[in-house]
């Protein structure tokens, strides 16, 4: 089963509404067919096919009443025929009134069918978007690093929108138009099955055309969606880094880059346009040819008296209604094929395995109280040909403050990202003739491999404050309580007070209800960092990771933040990535890293004496501070 139909099956969650929608589509088609059949008596009355004057409703009913059905019952009972009007004018008025009632009834059933269909589509797409986002948010970070967040966002937004169009075409357009076409064809067969049968000759030809063009639309649509993803990425990067773009006067470069991606989208969309534009004229050409053949045959039959002119007119009206209903099916089929391309991309997204550790059967990690150990850890980022970490073996006792120092790119942040399992160590690498093998590395908390425990229980024990603080659209209160469901007002205020954020929060007009702008740009760097620390304090984790938390703030903010960290970090294991000398001097242990390896560790004075790497770092990176 193709991805589109797998997603479409989710509409069956609303079986009752789907059943009603299908039933209403057939009821609408039935009312159309009945209206087309009812045109026959009108034509007979107007053309006087049965005699010189206008025929009456009673006469038409008598003609039908004389027919015997297979099960022996007459189509129209005699007592009904007796009560029909005898006047031709009255008969015509009754027939037209009946057609009007059928039209009103058909309009009502069409409205109800559309209402139910769009309700099913909207509910189903809400479920699919929710599931897709749930899958994305649980994917391993390394997958997002490779594909980029813009690609995932594009699939979540653009591809689901395209899939919505396909579902709408299927249920609210394709189904009612198809049933109407069937109803009109049934009316044509009822009037004269021989002429109506001629119209079916073009059916297989139309199917082959729709199938061929549909495949082209699907291929082009998939390429178009991929181009739109790259276009979205270019726009997002330029707007998110707008400050850098402006200060480097790179507006022209970014506009050119956007334009090149935009042209690629145009090219792929034009391929879709060509295939879709071909469908309608080809169908019209075949329809006209078929109508011409039927007209010639009908004219010959009228000339020899084998058929009445009113029957031919009724046949053409019915076939015209069928053609008008079935002609849009080529466009709807292309809509579905276009959605199939989006469904394939969404399916790829949702088939991706989640990050390990979310199995509900995994045990919870007990609260950290003894040690943290990195054992034979190697880490290679996707797409890289050289490891970021090489054979790390290191143990940290509970309650120590450990500072990691080294040149940019030496692996400090990579090492600490293993602890909350943002990345996992490389798997076991077997030996080859050219390179020795290495075992699977592991990260242990209190002697237990964290890979054997539920990832949520591991992350709940870790508070993280990074160089670039991430704040979300919302109030200051909601940002402090982020990730701490059920936190009380008292706990939030206490965390803000400990992080030295309470004073500036209460100085704002709305206090804790103050809304921060997107990415917290309405706050200063020091204020954002203190909110991030308050968020970590509220979780009360036994492990605290500080990744250059004070590198982007002024001296006063740094003093306040360091004071808050020192107070909160007592009795906790603090792992710090720092370039500031003041932070390093206060650490219980300093770990020196170079090119993915730990080259030395000790206190400041010891390392200055014996470690040339540390002396160079102290002179170059920490001398100014």
Q: 34 or 112: whose pLDDT is higher?
A: 112
Three state DSSP letters for 512-575: HHCEECHHHCCCCHHHHHHHHHHHHHHHCCCEEEEECCCCCCCHHHHHHHHHHHHHHCCCCEEE
Amino acid 172: pLDDT: 82
Q: Cα separation of 572 and 574, whole Å?
A: 6
Q: Cα separation of 419 and 463, whole Å?
A: 11
Query: What mean pLDDT do residues 479-499 have?
Result: 87
Q: Cα separation of 357 and 355, whole Å?
A: 7
Amino acid 72: pLDDT: 46
Class of domain 3-351: mainly alpha
Amino acid 436: pLDDT: 63
Query: What mean pLDDT do residues 37-60 have?
Result: 54
Query: What mean pLDDT do residues 151-173 have?
Result: 83
Most confident residue range from 516-520, 548-552, 602-606: 602-606
* Burial class of 570 by CB neighbour count within 10 A (0 to 12, 13 to 18, 19+): exposed
Q: Taking phi first (over 0 means left), then psi (-120 to 50 degrees means alpha), and beta for anything else, what does residue 575 get?
A: beta
CB 167 within 8 A of CB 11: yes
Query: What mean pLDDT do residues 255-273 have?
Result: 78
Query: What mean pLDDT do residues 488-506 have?
Result: 88
Q: Taking phi first (over 0 means left), then psi (-120 to 50 degrees means alpha), and beta for anything else, what does residue 486 get?
A: left
> What tens digit of pLDDT does each residue of 319-372 get?
777 766 766 666 677 777 778 878 888 888 888 888 887 777 889 999 999 999
CB 53 within 8 A of CB 88: yes
Q: Cα separation of 57 and 89, whole Å?
A: 9
> What tens digit of pLDDT does each residue of 562-576 get?
777 777 778 889 998
Most confident residue range from 39-48, 345-354, 592-601: 592-601
Query: What mean pLDDT do residues 56-65 have?
Result: 51
Q: How confident is the model at residue 257 (pLDDT cuts 50, 70, 90)?
A: confident
Q: How confident is the model at residue 302 (pLDDT cuts 50, 70, 90)?
A: low
Q: What percent of the chain is modeled with pLDDT above 70?
A: 70
Q: 209 or 69: whose pLDDT is higher?
A: 209
CB 338 within 8 A of CB 162: yes
3-state secondary structure of 406: strand
Query: What mean pLDDT do residues 288-310 have?
Result: 66
pLDDT for residue 248 is more than 60:
no
Query: What mean pLDDT do residues 130-156 have?
Result: 79
pLDDT for residue 210 is more than 70:
no
Amino acid 445: pLDDT: 94
Amino acid 28: pLDDT: 84
Most confident residue range from 34-38, 269-273, 368-372, 544-548: 368-372
Amino acid 555: pLDDT: 66
Q: Angle between the 15-47 and 88-137 helix axes, to the nearest 10 degrees? A: 150
Amino acid 69: pLDDT: 42
Amino acid 80: pLDDT: 53
Average pLDDT of the chain is: 77
> What tens digit of pLDDT does each residue of 395-438 get?
999 999 999 988 888 888 889 999 988 888 988 766 666 666 56
Q: Cα separation of 290 and 288, whole Å?
A: 5
Closest CA to 598 of 406, 441, 439: 406
Query: What is the CA angle 186-187-189, rounded to 5?
Result: 65
Amino acid 51: pLDDT: 42
pTM to 2 decimal places: 0.69
Amino acid 377: pLDDT: 92
**DSSP one-letter code for 355:** P
Q: Cα separation of 533 and 509, whole Å?
A: 22
* Domain boundary assignment for the chain: 3-351
């Amino acid at each position: 089963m193709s991805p589109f139909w797998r997603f479409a099956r989710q509409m069956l969650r609303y079986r009752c509404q789907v059943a009603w929608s299908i039933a209403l589509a057939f009821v609408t088609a039935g009312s159309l067919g009945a209206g087309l059949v009812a045109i026959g008596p009108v034509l007979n009355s107007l053309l006087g096919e049965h005699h010189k004057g206008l025929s009456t409703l009673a006469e038409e009913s008598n003609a039908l009443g004389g027919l015997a059905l297979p099960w022996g019952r007459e189509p129209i009972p005699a007592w009904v025929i007796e009560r029909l009007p005898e006047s031709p004018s009255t008969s015509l008025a009754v027939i037209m009134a009946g057609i009007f009632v059928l039209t009103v009834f058909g309009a009502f059933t069409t409205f109800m069918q559309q209402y139910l269909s769009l309700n099913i589509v909207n509910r189903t797409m809400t479920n699919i978007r929710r599931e897709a986002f749930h899958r994305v948010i649980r994917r391993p970070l390394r997958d997002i690093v490779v594909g980029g967040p813009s690609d995932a966002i594009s699939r979540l937004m653009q591809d689901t929108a395209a899939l919505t169009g396909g579902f709408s075409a299927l249920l609210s357009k394709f189904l009612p138009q198809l049933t109407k076409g069937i109803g009109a064809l049934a009316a044509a067969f009822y009037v004269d099955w021989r002429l109506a049968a001629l119209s079916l000759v073009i059916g297989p030809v139309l199917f082959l055309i729709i199938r061929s063009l549909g495949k082209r639309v699907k291929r082009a649509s998939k390429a178009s969606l991929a181009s739109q993803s790259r276009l979205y990425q270019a726009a997002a990067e330029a707007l998110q880094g707008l400050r850098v773009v402006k200060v480097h006067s790179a507006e022209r470069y970014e506009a050119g880059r956007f334009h090149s991606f935009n042209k690629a989208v145009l090219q792929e969309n034009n391929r879709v346009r060509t295939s879709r534009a071909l469908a309608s004229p080809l169908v019209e050409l075949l329809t006209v040819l078929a109508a011409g053949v039927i007209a010639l045959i009908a004219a010959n039959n009228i000339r020899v008296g084998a058929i009445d002119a009113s029957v031919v007119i009724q046949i053409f009206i019915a076939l015209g209604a069928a053609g008008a209903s079935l002609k849009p099916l080529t466009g709807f089929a292309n809509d579905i094929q276009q959605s199939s391309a989006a469904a394939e991309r969404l399916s790829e997204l949702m088939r991706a395995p989640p990050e390990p550790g979310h199995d509900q059967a995994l045990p919870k990690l007990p609260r950290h109280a003894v040690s943290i150990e990195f054992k034979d850890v190697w880490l290679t980022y996707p797409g890289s040909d050289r490891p970021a970490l090489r054979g790390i073996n290191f143990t940290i006792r509970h309650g120590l403050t450990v500072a990691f120092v080294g040149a940019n790119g030496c692996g400090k942040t990579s090492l600490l990202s293993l602890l909350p399992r943002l990345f996992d160590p490389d798997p076991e690498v077997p030996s080859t003739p050219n390179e020795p093998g290495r075992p699977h590395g592991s990260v242990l908390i209190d002697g237990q491999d964290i890979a054997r425990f539920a990832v949520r229980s591991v992350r709940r024990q870790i508070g993280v404050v990074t160089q670039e603080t991430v704040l979300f659209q919302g109030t200051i209160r909601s940002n402090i309580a982020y990730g701490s469901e059920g936190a009380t007002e008292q706990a939030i205020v206490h965390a803000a007070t400990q992080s030295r954020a309470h004073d500036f929060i209460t100085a704002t007009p709305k206090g804790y209800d103050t809304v921060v702008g997107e990415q917290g740009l309405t706050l200063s760097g020091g204020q954002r960092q203190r909110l991030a620390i308050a968020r970590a304090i509220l979780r009360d984790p036994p492990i605290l990771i500080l990744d250059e938390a004070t590198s982007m703030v002024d001296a006063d903010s740094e003093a306040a933040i360091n004071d808050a960290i020192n107070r909160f970090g007592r009795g906790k294991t603090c792992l710090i990535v720092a370039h500031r000398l003041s932070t390093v001097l206060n650490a219980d242990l300093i770990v020196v890293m170079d090119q993915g390896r730990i080259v030395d560790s000790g206190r400041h004075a010891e390392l200055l004496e014996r470690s040339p790497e540390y002396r160079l770092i102290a002179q170059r990176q920490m001398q100014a501070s």
